[in-house]
Structure 1
């Protein structure tokens, strides 16, 4: 009869949790940055709200810059005035500085 505290059932030193394994995989393939960029683009509506998302035509990232094409000139002006706040919200969503600059088109 096996005991629950036996070495056969205990965790081995070389066994990783799923989170640690995924983090190691992303680091090994150097794709953490791309994943973070994808998270920013896909969560644009959640970060900025439904009203801004409805006026957004296109969101993409190139070389650390977030480009946002808007269909409303007054909204564009308002967001340009609050550019640093938008930048802080976006980077806070990911948990690290992924975006260095926001450009409204």
Structure 2
């Protein structure tokens, strides 16, 4: 029977979970903010629902502002009235304050 060497035990001390490793990598390369922005854009349909997504022509983020171009004037008016709620829902989805303002075009 082989005896476990001390080097294996010291190696286990260096073990990091995959989640922690990816988080550290994103932090080191300053990519977390961009990843959060991509998450917001890609999950727009899930956040706002299929009806809103079907009337959304374009969605992009620039300098902390989410720009949404809609094809329906009544929907645009309704979303402008609920702008703060939309902002809360979006930031809650990501888990941090990624978007400071929502602009409906």
Q: Give the TM-score, by structure 2 length.
A: 0.91
Higher helix share: 2
For the structure 1 residues 71 and 2, does the alpha-carbon distance in structure 2 shift closer, same or farther, using more than 3 Å as the test?
A: farther
- Once residues 30 and 14 of structure 1 are traced to their aligned partners in structure 2, the CA distance between those partners, rounded to angstroms, is 23
* Structure 1: runs of 5 or more not aligned: none
Please give the secondary structure, in 2, of the residue aligned with 1:15: coil
Alpha-carbon distance, 1:39 to partner: 0.1
How far the C-alpha of 1:12 sits from its partner, in A, is: 1.6
Q: Structure 2 CA distance, aligned partners of 1:38 and 1:91?
A: 13
- Unaligned 5+ runs, structure 2: none
Q: Equivalent residue of 1:12, what SS?
A: helix
- Aligned equivalent of 1:28: 28
After TM superposition, where is structure 1 displaced by more than 3 Å over at least 4 residues in a row? Answer: 5-11
Q: 1:2 to 1:93 in 2, by over 3 A?
A: farther
Q: TM-score, normalised by structure 1?
A: 0.91
